[in-house]
Amino acid sequence: MRWLFILFLVVTQSGLAQQPFAIRHLTTADGLSQGSCFYIRKGSRGFVWASSQNGLNRFDGARFTKYQFNDRDSTTIGKGEVRGIVEAPSGDLWVGTEECLNQYVRRTNSFRRIYATDRQGRRQPALQEPFFADDSTVWYASNREGIMRLNYRTGRKTCINPSIKPKFSVTTDWIEHLPDQQSLLYLLPMGFARYNYKTHQISTFLTGQSTDQSVTNRSSGRFQPEYLFQSIHRCHVRGSHYGNYCLTGPQGIFEFDASLSRLIRHHPLRSGTSVFRFVSMDDDAQGRWWIGVEGSGVWLYDPDKMTLLREITPGAAKSSSLLTNQVAEVYVDDLGLVWVNSDPFGIDLIYPNASTISTLPDDPTDMTDLNNHPIRGLYEDPQGSIWIGTTDGGIRHYDPATGAMKAYTAQQGVTTEGNVREIIRTRNGRLLVANLQGLLQYDKKQDRFTQIPNALCTDPDCRFARGILELPDGNFVVTTFGGLFLLSPDLKPIDRIDREGTYFGASYFDPATNLLYTGRRDQDLIVYKYQKNKLVQQYVTLAGHNIMDFYADPSRHCLWLCTDRGLVQFDPATRKTIRTYTIRDGLPDDVVYGLLPDRKGLFWVSTNDGLAKFFPDKGSASPVVSTKGREYNSHAALISSDSVFYFGGVHGLDRFLPDQLDKYKANVPVRIINFLVNDQPYQADGFVGETGIVNLNHRQNTFSISLAALDYFSNGKNQFLYSLSTVDKGWVPLTNANQVRYADLSPGEYVFRAKAIDARGQVTPVTELHISIQPPFWQRWWFWLLSFLLVASLITFLVINYNRRKLASQRRLLQNSLATQEDERRRIARDLHDDVGNTLAAIKGILGLAKERIDVTAEVPEVTRAYELLDKASQDLRTITHNLMPIEFEKYALSDVVSQLVDRANRSSKTDFEFILFGDVRRLEPERELVTYRIIAELVQNALKHGGQGLAIVQLGYLPHQLSILIETPLDAKQDNFAFSDRTTTGIGQKNITYRAEYLHAQLTTDSNDQSYTVMLDVPYDTVGSTSY
């Protein structure tokens, strides 16, 4: 029995293998710049690049980005048709055009052009076709220069062979670089050649010339001396063909070993190949060969079995057919997807593996096909055929093994207005259909459907059968818009229950409890007890719910209800809802139509907005993004005998293998493809999508980010989730869009994160973009620091200026006071001299006369004494008036005046004064010299009054920057020196000294001990006007 089961699986899988491949068409309507895409390559960053006659195209799974020539922008691609696309290890692309060679710099998302030049260095337009690139050089064919090698790091060009040039008449796969052999392999009009660029030797093969190299033929077929070849391909998939060279032509494919000296095998493919051109081929991970056949389409070939597996051609069923048979390029990417250029319409993307959800092909010109009718009702018969009910097109019988479709409409007993709701197979093999007209039964002998009468149905509502359920005893329950009907095994009516109830169609019977669960439209879940051909109502719950499907979960002992309010987990024992799962838990929509469990215990549910994979243990769901936007229907979910899942809806019928979907392990990156600032393109040294860093000023606080999930299985329907730090709380879903916009952001550091849900329903890795919005200069730290320093400097300036003005005012006041003092001294001296002096002179004269008239002066000694005192008073008056009179410092130097002052002090004091002068005498302003003299005179006067015996020193020292004055007064040992210090520091004279020192900006210092009292005065010179002599 086990071998029978294995044989059955092999047969069914082989049948599945013949199912048409799903094909996605990409044309100018999808954003492609032009439809002649002779070169298609997938880059290391995950983007697919396609050439055209109007620029280069980059595809991200959802949309195209066009790179076209602009004569006003030197960073755009060169002019003309794109010829050749190769990628360097750095990720940069080398692209040829009809005008020049172009380097696409990935980091800046821009181009650098390299032109052919003549001997004078003038540019010359030339067709350039790159075919190889490594970490320092790019190899390309030029129709002017031949085969060239460019060291793009140094800019040095080297001509490898000027005679090998590309031609438009030659296929795109006409040359191969063999680095390990230091050779080039290229096609000739007949045969092919190998050029060793190290030895400059050319070896030809199968050209029909006598100089051809010999080729050992391992195949048994006849071997001609010359052959026409149309493309070269080196097998790159590990296996028995790895490293071999395949040369295609009208005779089929010639497979050579790596040395090209031995023909391993000739693959004739099939008969009639001479009328086609074999322009391109590639091998997939299974070792199969995909061959682009101009005039036929794409052929899939098994080289080990030498079997042509299938031919993919244009057809009416667009979802499984090519746009045209004029194929110019075939490319198999790392995921096994086959990219085909259907010239000139665009690109056909073939999904060769069951790793996608495919929609059953529908030929609108074939009246037996589905013809875009919404699906409702699915059933698989014992032969493995699928019966498909439609809402307005009758019933279809579909054979998955052959793809044949048969229609059952009015001629076969099913009116197009029948509105099929459900199809079931009874335990005795009958096929029953519930539709608008009641029940239909399939008659296999007559190959038609007949209607089952219902005597208890007397109104239109009860004719509208919404569902049918077979009970364990063979009876049936039919749900209608006019209540429930209990039918016998021979479909005779037994009873009508709840005549006023409008039942939605879904039902479930639990044989353990004999309870029937069914739903009334827009009302509730109603539960009946079934016993003795009777249905007795037990309870009603879930008010306001439409119930469209039931699934009994034996492991969790609960029911899962598909409703219009989410997926409900219901506990029959407690009659309560355990939990309801909605879009908040990851479902694409709250309207859930059907549920199918897979072998891993996961649920696949259909909704009003696509399919989802539900994880019951986690309580979460992941949408199947490739089905986003599809509206499914109830009673349209089926697991076939070969484990294929079918879901029907408004768009048609989808099918897939859950295990194959889970095997899809593509790493889907999320890329930033555009960045706008204030709705304008962001200008920077590097492309944001590559650098991951953006620096903006405070005016650039509104930006938009465009995202792309490089998922080629989801038809561009990936759902994005994004978050901006300090702005968004958690992940924000991006619905039906790929662009995020933020406006009026505050200055600061932000991190933008984005991820997507891929075709598996898994979350992709997170992509980050660091965005820095600089604050305006008045909000930056250095501005605050400068502002603080400026304010502090201003305050300091104001304080200093105020103090200066105050000091200037005080100096003017002091100067005025000193001037007033000098004027007062002059007036007092003049008054003393004029008045007191004259009076004393007169008195002296009178006393002199009296003295002369007295004969004997000895008798009157008082007269003589008065005369002497009066004479002394006259001398003192002259001294006082002399001291009071201002000295004319315009005529005399300070040193001279002080010297005279010391001389006078010596004549009238018991203290000896010594005057010391050193340095070059410098003159101060007269007013300052006068004030300085007053200070010195005051100090000398103090010495005369309070000094003791000894030597007093008066010293003037003219230093470079100041006048240093020292007055040292000896102290009497018998005196209280502290009393002397008090008398000299608290008297009026000392206050005048301090007052005048401040006026001079002089530094006044005093020092005293037991022997002397010293005063030091440092007077700065005038800044202007001081002279020396």
Q: How many residues does the chain have?
A: 1029
Is-contact 535 497, C-beta < 8 A?
A: yes
- Cα 853 from chain centroid (whole Å): 129
Q: How much is the average pLDDT of 762-771?
A: 93
- Cα 381 from chain centroid (whole Å): 53
- Helix 894-907 to helix 926-946 angle, to the nearest 10 degrees? 20
- Domain 670-779 - what CATH class? mainly beta
Coil, strand, or helix at residue 859? helix
pLDDT of residue 286: 92
pLDDT of residue 882: 62
More confident of the two residues 2 and 588 = 588
pLDDT of residue 704: 96
Q: Is the pLDDT at 184 greater than 90, yes or no?
A: yes
Coil, strand, or helix at residue 512? coil
Distance CA 691, CA 688 (A): 5
What amino acid occupies position 864? T
Is-contact 751 770, C-beta < 8 A?
A: yes
- Containing 16, the helix (H) or strand (E) segment is helix 2-17
pLDDT of residue 724: 96
Number of neighbours of residue 399 by Cβ within 10 angstroms: 14
Q: How much is the average pLDDT of 140-165?
A: 94
Measured between its terminal Cα atoms, the distance across the chain in Å is 137
Q: In what order do the strands lie in the sheet with 534-545?
A: 503-510, 515-520, 523-531, 534-545
Distance CA 680, CA 799 (A): 52
pLDDT of residue 2: 40
For 826-851, the pLDDT digits (tens) are: 677 666 655 676 676 677 677 777 77
For 28-52, the pLDDT digits (tens) are: 999 999 999 999 999 999 999 999 9
Strand partners, 440: 433, 451
For 493-535, the pLDDT digits (tens) are: 999 999 999 998 899 999 999 999 999 988 899 999 999 899 9
pLDDT of residue 778: 87
- 10 Å CB burial of residue 487 (0-12, 13-18, 19+) is buried
- Cα 18 from chain centroid (whole Å): 44
What tokens does 954 get? 């008066």
What amino acid occupies position 847? L
pLDDT of residue 855: 62
What tokens does 416 get? 């197009």
- The CATH number corresponding to 39-171 among 2.40.50.100, 2.10.109.10, 2.130.10.10, 3.40.640.10 equals 2.130.10.10
Distance CA 540, CA 560 (A): 17
The percent of residues in the chain predicted with pLDDT above 70, rounded, is 90
Average pLDDT, the chain: 87
Is-contact 77 55, C-beta < 8 A?
A: yes
pLDDT of residue 9: 38
Is-contact 783 685, C-beta < 8 A?
A: no
Of 233-237, 484-488, 822-826, least confident by mean pLDDT is 822-826
Of 118-132, 436-450, 555-569, 857-871, least confident by mean pLDDT is 857-871
Distance CA 381, CA 640 (A): 9
Distance CA 328, CA 348 (A): 11
Is-contact 309 295, C-beta < 8 A?
A: no
Q: In what order do the strands lie in the sheet with 404-408?
A: 375-380, 386-390, 395-399, 404-408
Output the CA angle 22-25-30, nearest 5 degrees: 145
Distance CA 716, CA 731 (A): 21
Distance CA 155, CA 144 (A): 19
Q: How much is the average pLDDT of 333-356?
A: 90
- Is residue 364 left, alpha or beta, with left meaning phi > 0 and alpha meaning psi from -120 to 50? alpha
Q: SS3 letters for 574-633?
A: CCEEEEEECHHHCCCCCCEEEEEECCCCCEEEEEECEEEEEECCCCEEEECHHHCCCCEE
pLDDT of residue 16: 41
Q: Is the pLDDT at 27 greater than 70, yes or no?
A: yes
pLDDT of residue 8: 36
Same fold yes or no, 39-171 and 889-1029 = no
Distances (CA, A) of 136 to 149, 582, 804: 10, 55, 73
Distance CA 318, CA 74 (A): 41
Q: Say how many CA atoms lie within 13 Å of 620 toward its Cβ.
A: 5
Q: Is the pLDDT at 904 greater than 60, yes or no?
A: yes
Q: How much is the average pLDDT of 110-135?
A: 92
- Reference 622, options 545, 706, 721; nearest CA is 721
Give the torsion sign (CA, 17, 20, 26, 30).
negative
Q: Where do the domains of the chain lie?
A: 39-171, 180-347, 670-779, 889-1029
Q: How much is the average pLDDT of 80-107?
A: 95
pLDDT of residue 13: 41
Distance CA 368, CA 395 (A): 10
- Reference 245, options 183, 327, 329, 312; nearest CA is 183
User: Scanning the structure block, which residue is given the tokens 């899809």?
Assistant: 664
Q: Is the pLDDT at 784 greater than 70, yes or no?
A: yes
pLDDT of residue 219: 63
pLDDT of residue 906: 85
What tokens does 585 get? 């838990």
The percent of residues in the chain predicted with pLDDT above 90, rounded, is 61
Coil, strand, or helix at residue 264? strand
**889-1029 architecture in CATH?**
2-Layer Sandwich (3.30)
Q: How much is the average pLDDT of 786-799?
A: 92
For 425-452, the pLDDT digits (tens) are: 999 999 999 998 899 999 999 999 999 9
- Domain 180-347 - what CATH class? mainly beta
For 793-830, the pLDDT digits (tens) are: 999 999 999 988 887 887 777 777 767 776 776 677 66
Q: How much is the average pLDDT of 1015-1026?
A: 76
Distance CA 852, CA 668 (A): 142
In this structure, the strands spanning 297-302 and 307-312 are antiparallel
Q: Is the pLDDT at 276 greater than 70, yes or no?
A: yes
Of 428-442, 597-611, 694-708, 843-857, least confident by mean pLDDT is 843-857
- Reference 880, options 832, 840, 950, 824; nearest CA is 832
Q: Is the pLDDT at 932 greater than 80, yes or no?
A: yes
